Amino acid sequence: MWGAKIFGEPAVILELAAAAVLGFIGGLAGGYIASLKLKPGIRVPELVGHAKGKTRRRYVVFEVLTSERVSFEELEAALKTVVRNVYGELGEAAMRAYLVEYNEVRRRGIVRVRSPYKDHVLAVLGLIRSAGNRGVLIAPIAVTGSLKRARKLVEA
């Protein structure tokens, strides 16, 4: 009865333990709900996946329409910014959209994305209006399932 001497009654120990457990669960639930709050009207893409926990990748080939040269880093930052502004951090994590390659001379590049979100990335590419301090428009050329085919389209 060591606990009874410090806290008094055994019932007090149970009440304290119950309060601690409920507080912990409430904190987890509150944190999860708070993380889902995004801008009004923006729906978080559902986390969908393949049966084995993996999804297939798609490669979006695009062309940058501008008169000035745009670097890989500027384009990558613009892509991440627009994805985060439109879909939030959870949407960005679900899509896993990455700029794989960008040919500055031909002004063509490849974005890798999880298959269920290829339409989301096509929408995001249409929303990009600036990279660095340069005005740009991005025109999607094709969506393919292999990086080899995407690289052929960049070089064509």
Which is higher by pLDDT, 42 or 11?
11
Q: Which pLDDT score is estimated for 154?
A: 92
Q: Which pLDDT score is estimated for 156?
A: 82
* Beta bridge pairs of residue 110: 61, 101
Tens-digit pLDDT profile for residues 101-145? 999 999 999 999 999 999 999 999 999 999 988 899 999 999 999
| Helix pair 72-95, 118-127: axis angle to 10 deg | 140
CA dist 130 and 137 (Å) reads 8
Q: Which pLDDT score is estimated for 26?
A: 52
Residue 39 is given by DSSP the state S
Instruction: Work out the percent of the chain whose per-residue pLDDT is above 90.
Output: 56
- Give the mean model confidence (pLDDT) for residues 63-80: 92
What DSSP string describes 60-129? EEEEEE-SS---HHHHHHHHHHHHHHHHHHHHHHHH--EEEEEETTTTEEEEEEEGGGHHHHHHHHHH--
* Element containing residue 29 per DSSP (H, E): helix 10-36
CA-wise closest residue to 38 among 81, 85, 95, 97: 85
Q: Quick check: 38 pLDDT over 70?
A: no
Which is higher by pLDDT, 9 or 156?
156
CATH of 57-155, picked from 3.50.50.60, 4.10.410.60, 3.10.129.10, 3.30.70.3250, is: 3.30.70.3250
Q: Quick check: 42 pLDDT over 60?
A: no
